[in-house]
Amino acid sequence: MVTPTLLVLAAGMGSRYGGLKELDPVGPDGETILGYSIHDAHRAGFGKVVFIIRKEIEQPFKQMVGPKFEKRIAVEYVFQELGKLLPGFSAPAARTRPWGTTHAILMAATTIHEPFAVINSHDFYGADSYRALAHHLQSGTEDYAMVGFVLRKTLSEFGMVARGICQVDDAGFLQKIVELKNVERAGGHATNTDAEGQETRLTGDEIVSMNMWGFTPKVFPQLHQHFQAFLQLNGADLQAECYVPDTVNEMLVDGEARVKVLRAQDACFGVTYREDHPRAVEAIRRLIEAGNYPKRLW
């Protein structure tokens, strides 16, 4: 049976949060959300973790990761840098913004040679999500996968968040992701406010993407092709980023892939805003009391 790899997107600094949120403890013994993610993935059958980070955060990140993870699971590091582009392209001198998550995944193309999952480093996805994704990746299917969460179980209490609303067919395959930039709680439902200030009501039961994906290595040449097209159109734009949901949408339209939507039973929570941190601590405490995690992970 194939042993999948976990690819962790950890190059961001969390501007709205105000710090390197991957390093903030949420567990009783200083455990981070990232620590619980690695714990869940290891239990589910993932055999290696590859971290996508930036050179600027290499030292503090490795100080946190090294002592806790490397003794229990194989760990590798890959760097996302502005200058690491496709042949024939170069970053504008004034650009400081990263190129997005599609570019980040491409940085691991020479490191990963087996089916793999992609996650955000600052989101807690729940043990069932890792088990479902590991099962899919170990099945030998050519289909990609995305873990879909119920919208109301993903929202912050402290501000707007971006969410990808998923259109799923009757067979459980992803048809399209519609990215909404300003989603927030509104009583028992949710709303999205567009750039013109127009408010759209959502039920809260919609299935959303939280950037938890399952791929095989065949995705790398596909991402390469789509990122190349992105650079041709947007390479001179100092703000444009190439995101995985947009790239997957393009692949679906072009008939290049099928993406199975795996329905998550757990809530997905993170630390988008600093005010989210106490709620994350409380959520972990309840999970420990329920017996889902030991009081000390490592």
Q: Are 280 and 269 in contact (CB under 8 A)?
A: yes
Read off the pTM.
0.93
User: Residue 22: how many CB atoms within 10 A of its CB?
Assistant: 26
Q: What is the pLDDT of residues 131-168, one digit of tens each?
A: 999 999 999 999 999 999 999 999 988 889 999 999 99
Which domains, ranges and CATH numbers included, belong to the chain? 5-148+209-289 (3.90.550.10)
pLDDT in the model for residue 282: 95
191 CB-near residues (< 8 Å, 6+ apart) = 183, 184, 199, 200, 201, 202
What does the DSSP assignment read for 54-88? -GGGHHHHHHHHHHHHTTTSEEEEEE--TT---TT
Q: Are 102 and 109 in contact (CB under 8 A)?
A: no
The three-state secondary structure class of 243 is coil
pLDDT in the model for residue 14: 42
For the chain, residues with pLDDT lower than 70 are: 12-22
Distance CA 186, CA 156 (A): 11
pLDDT in the model for residue 66: 74
